[in-house]
Amino acid sequence: MSQTTSPDGASGTAGRKPFGGGGFSDDAGYRIAYARKVTATDVRDESIRLTAHQLQEWVDLEFAVRMITVDRHTFTAAILPGSEKARIDWRSDYGALEYKRVDPPSHVYDGVQSLHAELGLRFSASDFLVDREGAWWFLETNPNGQWAWIECLTDDISSAIMNALRSSAQRRECAV
């Protein structure tokens, strides 16, 4: 992944995802700017210098993953794309998605736990892509990410969050 305002040295195919909320308004109203597949030619356009872009190596995905982490507990769901639009950005075609529970490989679990320790996080929603060979590609982690939509596929995320909050409150009471 790179963050740049320079198209110099661009090669191959990448995924481009906007920073921030990803929405914009124009004559057609408010619209969402979803991730899209771009080529080196696309990013050599001089207008790319006008703002920062998030470019990530293109992954020919089998499915996407949302992993919710609460302390040492993970709750993980595969997001199966049923259309070409959903293959590029699953948020762009909710009607073409199926979901199933999936267990992360141990090195992925360990990596997320290390990231939590480094950043001081107790909760996050992390996104991955899993390619056709089964390799997991980390995209991002969000310390305020959405999780309720996958709770029915996983164990009880709500209870894990409640228990984490309760344990924090009990530690504070003991310190008083």
pLDDT at 51 (0 to 100):
65
- 6 and 46 inside one domain: yes
- Phi, psi values for residue 148, rounded to 5°: -60, -30
- 65 and 52 inside one domain: no
Q: Smallest Cα–Cα separation from 126: which of 34, 115, 118? A: 115
Cα dihedral: 30, 3, 48, 32 (round 10): -10
- 18 and 78 inside one domain: no
Read off the CATH number of the domain in which 127 is found. 3.30.470.20
Q: Which of 57, 73, 91 lies at the terminal end of a domain, its last residue?
A: 57
Specify the higher pLDDT residue, 171 or 148.
Answer: 148
- 101 and 26 inside one domain: no
- 52 and 22 inside one domain: yes
How many domains, the chain?
Answer: 2
For residues 92-109, give the mean pLDDT.
96
Determine the structural domain holding residue 53 and report its residue range: 2-57
Q: Is the pTM of this model over 0.85?
A: no
For residues 65-81, give the mean pLDDT.
96
- 94 and 153 inside one domain: yes
- Asked whether residue 71 carries a pLDDT value surpassing 50, the answer given is yes
Place of tokens 């310390």: 143
pLDDT at 176 (0 to 100):
52
pLDDT level of residue 39 (50, 70, 90 thresholds): confident
Q: What is the mean pLDDT of the chain?
A: 84
pLDDT level of residue 103 (50, 70, 90 thresholds): very high
Q: Write the DSSP string, 116-132.
A: HHHHT-SEEEEEEEEET
- Asked whether residue 174 carries a pLDDT value surpassing 60, the answer given is no
Interatomic CA distance for residues 169 and 65, integer angstroms: 31
